Structure 1
Amino acid sequence: MKICTITCQNADNYGARLQCFALAYWLKKEGNEVEVIDYQPDYMREPNLWYIPSSVKELVKLFVRFPERLCSVKRHKIYSEFSKKYIPLTKVYNNINELRNDPPIADIYLAGSDQIWNPTFRNGTDPAYYLDFGPENVQRKSFSASFAVSSIENIQKKLWIKNNLKRFDKITVREQSALKILKEMGYDGELQDDPVFMLSAEEWNRALNLEESWKKLGIKNEKYVLIYDFFLSDEIKSVALEYGKQNNCKIFSVCHKSLSYADKNFVYADPVDFVNLIKHACCVISNSFHGTCFAMIYNVSYVIVNRPDGLNVRMQDLLERKCP
């Protein structure tokens, strides 16, 4: 069986790349031929280091933010190298028209996992993530897809999504809240764990060769709490400092920027390093869904802090299902 999956595989965060890898790995283990559609729309492409400013104000902004942009470009390269090594990608498709004009050959198109249907993001209303391409006789399914919100308030978007789900033969979603959204639209769905849970800790160890990679990080007999913080939160800082003090451990960070209060910052860690740092931590403090998932997989203590962007329903659902 040839299966082509599509997800936000080009997003520059650890969870996006690792869930993409996990699904392809698991499907292949089940005896399928697997490719991940390398969909790179303009809103999810490599960050530009330089651009032509349209005003003096833009020019000043360009120079002020140059170090940050340089960091983003370097991190994107690290993520891309992981994908090239571990993920079986198709050729690059830059937009939905390219997908429609030359779709990959498959028996099944599989949408997911992760926030592919998040209505607050551009991908949430991108026809590609609703499998609007390819021959009609190809089966279309979702795997652990997420809306990432508890409800869709925008009526126009909700109607658009409802109409585009019609082409699916089977829908599985990641959160209980997504089942409610589907029911409001007149669809039946099934719950499905995020793909990272399809692999055991031992399988992750083997698949990513974690023992060998751990040696390269140069961490020897150091007790640490790991911070993975998307928003550089003061609350996480406070919790981390208190935890480190009470448990006599160092603070390591795997955030996109260096944290002044961390003893070590792994700004340029790749997804393999990310898993290793969680595996060997005494505790993970985070506002990340997948950071929490990997702490669960490796039976590491964790503290979850709410996100300011309102995407907390994913963690709430995860805790209800995994820690009843």
Structure 2
Amino acid sequence: MKVGIITIHNVSNYGAVLQAYALKELIKTKYDVSIIDYDNRHVSKSLDYVRFGASFHSCLGTVKDIFRIIPRMRVIPKFKRFISEDMDIVPYNTDQVDKFSTLISGSDQIWNPACVSSDKTFIPEYFLSFATPNQNKIAYASSCGAYQYSSAEETVLGDYLGAYDALSTRESKTSKYLSSVVGREVEHVLDPTLLLQKDEWLDRLSDNNFREGDYILLYVIKKTPLLKKVINKLKNELNAKVILCEQGLHFDSIVDEHIRDAGPRDFISLFNNAKFVVTDSFHGTTFSLTFNKPFFSVSPGANVNRISSLLEVVGLDSRIIHDEDSLKSINSSHYTLDFSEANERLDAERQKSKDYLFSNLEM
């Protein structure tokens, strides 16, 4: 059997690249699988050294890229090399796509119009619009994030989803919502990054010498005042340096080392060697769980649904810091974390997700 995956894979984003890699690697244990190199320029332009655009936001981004051009010239080749050498890529064309007996629309926010297009429209390819009638069509952990569809968009969405043979998403609330839209069950499954266990990640990608020693790993999307207060508190009480892994500009003087040029392999090493993790990222949370690192997930706002959905499943939703009141409740007992129960729950959910995936691949 030949399996093709379409997802967000060609970006300088750790979560996107590693979720695509993980899904491919799991399927590869049983089947011939490739990632289809569909180039959505709205997302793939993140691999440009300097990104250009006409809007004010785009112009601001161009200026930022120019100011951080040196680290971008180091980090982007790492991503491009990983994508070309480790992702089992095939071209997006009819000759290649027709060879697959099964097509999968993978994880990440491929069904979020605000994420995948500049004008907030659906991308048909992410709904397997190119599939032929005789190809098996599966959605694995496909997500719409926190996007709120209009009634007109719901109608279009229902038509797209109705063409699938099997449907799943990575958020529990989204699975219920999409079930009502399409009129049949949409399974709730784990994000692909959680389908590989710690040893599997390390066997494939680890470079354990990237950073060593006691450090608090900070991996964030939004640089909020609450986040800074969390870091201040932890740095003082854990007596550890703070390493920020993030490609942006200056964050705060409390950061001891700002790594702007970590590649996907470096990213895995940073999580593996960290003493503690602070993140507002969904994938920062998934890798904290995988590597059993004590962590706090600082609420990013509307997108906290992705994090809370996962942490409720494993019984660790208390690790979310929603506001200043949550921060005040932190004490020394929170600086260690017993993962025994969480690992048991995660193992059970991991098996359920694998069963969903492979049972539908074998149809």
Over aligned residues, Cα RMSD in angstroms?
Answer: 2.6
Q: Verify: 1:163 aligned to 2:159, yes or no.
A: yes
Q: Label 1:33 to 1:253 Cα distance change in 2 as closer, same or farther (>3 A).
A: same
The answer for unaligned runs of 5 or more in structure 1 is: 94-98
Match of 2:192 among 191, 195, 214: 195
Aligned CA distance change for structure 1 residues 118 and 69 (closer, same or farther; 3 Å): farther
Match of 1:238 in 2: 229
In 2, Cα distance between equivalents of 1:194 and 1:139:
21
Partner of 1:253: 244
Segments of structure 2 that go 5 or more residues without pairing to the other structure are 317-363
Report the 3-state secondary structure (helix = DSSP H, G, I; strand = E; otherwise coil) of the residue aligned with 1:46. helix
CA distance in 2, matches of 1:64, 1:255: 13
Of 252, 265, 269, the match for 2:262: 269
Cα distance in 2 for residues equivalent to 1:145 and 1:180:
14
Q: Say yes or no: does 1:4 pair with 2:1.
A: no
Query: What are the within-5 Å matches in structure 2 for residues 52-91 of structure 1?
Result: 66-68=66-68, 71-72=71-72, 74-91=74-91
After superposition, what is the alpha-carbon deviation per residue over 1:199-219, rounded to whole angstroms, capped at 9, x for unaligned?
1111111011x2xx122x2x3
- Which amino acid is 1:167 matched to? A
Q: Which residue of 2 aligns with 1:96?
A: none
Deviations 1:176-232 (A, max 9, x none): 111222122123111211111111111111011x2xx122x2x34x21111011122
Scaled by the length of structure 1, the TM-score of the pair is 0.86
The reply on whether 1:288 has 2:284 as its aligned counterpart is no
The CA distance in 2 between the partners of 1:167 and 1:227, in whole Å, is: 41
Query: Using a 3 Å threshold, how does the CA distance of structure 1 residues 71 and 156 change in structure 2: closer, same or farther?
Result: farther
Task: Please state whether the residue corresponding to 1:135 is helix, strand or coil.
Answer: coil
In structure 1, C-alpha distance between the alignment counterparts of 2:25 and 2:284, rounded to whole Å? 19
- Distance, in Å, in 2 between the alignment partners of 1:60 and 1:199 is 37
Shift of 1:53: 8.8
TM-score normalised by L of structure 2 = 0.78
Question: Identity over the aligned pairs, expressed in percent?
Answer: 25
Please give the secondary structure, in 2, of the residue aligned with 1:170.
coil
Contact 1:2–1:33 (Cα < 8 Å) also in 2: yes
Q: 2:220 aligns with which of 229, 233, 242?
A: 229
Higher mean displacement: 287-296 or 140-149: 140-149
Change (3 A) 1:101 1:194: same
How far is 1:268 from its partner? 0.3
Q: For residues 145-196 of structure 1, what are the alpha-carbon distances to aligned partners after superposition, in whole Å with 9 as ceiling and x for unaligned? A: 11212x7342222221111111100001111111222122123111211111
Residues paired across the two proteins, number: 307
Deviation at 1:35, TM superposition (A): 0.4
